[in-house]
Structure 1
Amino acid sequence: MTEPLVVVVAAALYDDTGRLLAARRSAPPELAGRWELPGGKVESGESPEHALVRELREELGVTAEPVARVPGEWPLMKDGYVLRVWRARLVDGTPAPLQDHDELRWLEPADVWSVDWLDQDVPAVAEVLGARSTPGAHP
């Protein structure tokens, strides 16, 4: 397998009650109104874990800690882009939609599929839910 051109990282960020954070896109127009796991592109020379921490600080105003990578990667709409997901723990702050999002929602496990996830996030979220169903898998 060839290395992707661009890695996009996302956080499966859970609160202390086991709710998953979903973020509704406000941009670009073709993605606006749909939901995703928050995150963004890994910059040149940056580790994926560092990118995840940076993106959550920029987009949500929080400090988070990557806990473990969720198995798999998922192709995004742009050629050469892949999504990789980490379970993450909120260290400090209250998430707020600062960049690229207009709403955040903490989803109970039974409500995870109540939002209109981006197509490329659907298999990633399904994998996250599968990872959480094993003992000790949550932060």
Structure 2
Amino acid sequence: MYKVFFNQKLINISTRENITLNKTTIQSTDSFNVFDVRRWFYNFILDNATETVLTHSSPVDFFEVFKSAFIQIDAAGGVVFNGEGKLLFILRNGVWDLPKGKVEEGETTSDAAIREVEEECGITGLQIARELPSTYHVYQSPYKKSKGEWIFKETFWYDMNYSGAQTGVPQQEEGITKIKWFAPAELGEVLENTYENLKQIINLYRV
């Protein structure tokens, strides 16, 4: 099942057989093309449903159709552990976030993830341990002039280890005002003030 977030709304893409949710709207999409996806999405924005399921006989194929209905951007970021087993978070625009950013042309997602953590947190010497599941969300960029230009962003995540002693410097020009290390048992504080699409990553580490 794919999970795509739009603000506080959640779009699940799955086969009908895999549906276990019972408080959501369900829409069959076997006949959907790109224009159908766009039309459906505009209606979804306006309705009161906070969660929905789009069913398809081949979710993998439909996911490609769904993505192509939007401008696609790749981003990458890191879940960074220090020597004490604590996780690194940034306070960006008043919300707890993980360091991440856009993948530049010609850059691998792993290189982009390390660069973004270094730039946003002011630390170096990061080591990637493993790749994590991607997250997906749709939003309207403030830099796009047309109201119809919606962005589909896939963020590639990586587990990283940091063994250095740098305290870090928040990248204030990116709206980052604070850097803080949280123990896994303290992640409830983060979950109270973070983005919906990040919660599935954060919950991998909560104890």
Fold-level similarity (TM above 0.5): yes
Query: Quick one: which amino acid aligns to residue 98 of structure 1?
Result: Q
Matched residue, 1:137: none
- What is the aligned-residue identity percentage? 23
Write the mapping of 1:114-129 to structure 2, written as runs, cut at 5 A: 114-115=189-190, 116-127=193-204, 129=205
Which residue of 83, 103, 110 maps to 2:185?
A: 110
Q: Which segments of structure 1 move beyond 6 Å, counting only runs of 4 or more?
A: none
User: Of residues 76, 84, 90 in structure 1, which corresponds to 2:137?
Assistant: 76
SS of 2:196's equivalent?
coil
- The 3-state SS of whatever aligns with 2:75 is strand
**Which residues of 2 match residues 14-25 of structure 1 at below 5 A?**
14-25=81-92
The CA RMSD measured in Å over matched residues stands at: 2.1
Residue identity opposite 2:155 in structure 1: L
Q: Secondary structure at the match of 1:120?
A: helix
Q: Deviations over 1:35-63 (max 9, x none)?
A: 11112111111001110121122111212
- SS of residue paired to 1:113: helix
Q: Given that residues 86 and 181 in structure 2 are in contact (C-alpha distance below 8 angstroms), is that contact kept between their aligned partners in structure 1? A: yes
Kindly indicate whether residue 115 of structure 2 is the aligned counterpart of residue 54 of structure 1. Answer: yes
Q: In structure 2, which of residues 79, 101, 104 is the aligned counterpart of residue 12 of structure 1?
A: 79
Distance, in Å, in 1 between the alignment partners of 2:90 and 2:137 is 17
Is the contact made by 1:52 and 1:66 (CA closer than 8 Å) also made in structure 2?
A: no
State how far apart, in whole Å, the 2-side matches of 1:40 and 1:80 are. Answer: 14
Rounded to whole Å, the distance in 1 between the matches of 2:98 and 2:199 is 10
Q: 1:84, 1:45 → 2: CA distance? A: 16
Measured after TM superposition, the shift of residue 91 of structure 1 is 5.3
Structure 1 residue 33 displacement after superposition: 0.7
Q: Does 1:96 align with 2:169?
A: yes
Is the Cα–Cα contact under 8 Å of residues 8 and 84 in structure 1 kept in the other structure?
yes
2:24 equivalent in structure 1: none
In structure 1, list runs of 5 or more residues that go unmatched: 26-31, 134-139
Report the secondary structure of 2:186's partner residue.
helix
For the residues of structure 2 that align with 1:95 and 1:9, how far apart are their CA atoms? 19
SS at match of 1:95: coil
Larger Rg: 1 or 2?
2
* Distance in 1, Cα, partners of 2:113 & 2:188: 24
Task: Count matched residues.
Answer: 123
Query: Which protein has the bigger helix share?
Result: 2
Q: Distance in 1 between matches of 2:130 and 2:121?
A: 20
Q: CA offset at residue 68 of structure 1? A: 0.7
